[in-house]
C-alpha cells in the first residue's frame, strides 16, 4: 500500500480537527492521549518538512548571485 503524499496544509487542517476534539468535553482520557500523540507526530512531520524547505530557499543578492538561505541561530 502506497503512503499518501505528505501535505503541510492537510496536516495543519488535521491538527485543527484534533485540537477541536481535544477541547470537546465528550473525549475521554485515553482518547485524549491518543489524539495528543497523533498531533505530536503530525507536528514533527511538519517541522521536518519546513526545515527541508528552508534549506532550499535561495536569497538573491543585488549582484544577481544566489546564496542558500540559512536559519539564524542564537
DSSP-based three-state secondary structure for 5: coil
Angle between helices 29-56 and 8-23 (to 10 degrees): 160
Does 74 reside within a domain? no
Does 21 reside within a domain? yes
When divided into structural domains, the chain yields a total of 1
Confidence (pLDDT) at 73: 46
- List the grid coordinates of 37: 500523540
Encode pLDDT of 29-49 as tens digits: 999 999 999 999 999 999 998
Does 2 reside within a domain? no
Does 60 reside within a domain? yes
Does 22 reside within a domain? yes
Which structural domain, as residue segments, surrounds residue 35? 8-68
Model pTM?
Answer: 0.65
Confidence (pLDDT) at 15: 94
Does 43 reside within a domain? yes
Which element (helix H / strand E) includes 71? none
Does 37 reside within a domain? yes
Amino acid at each position: 500500500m502506497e503512503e499518501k503524499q505528505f501535505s503541510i496544509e492537510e496536516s495543519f487542517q488535521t491538527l485543527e480537527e484534533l485540537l477541536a476534539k481535544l477541547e470537546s468535553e465528550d473525549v475521554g482520557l485515553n482518547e485524549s492521549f491518543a489524539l495528543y500523540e497523533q498531533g505530536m507526530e503530525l507536528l514533527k512531520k511538519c517541522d521536518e518538512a519546513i526545515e527541508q524547505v528552508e534549506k532550499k530557499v535561495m536569497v538573491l543578492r543585488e549582484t544577481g548571485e544566489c546564496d542558500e538561505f540559512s536559519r539564524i541561530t542564537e
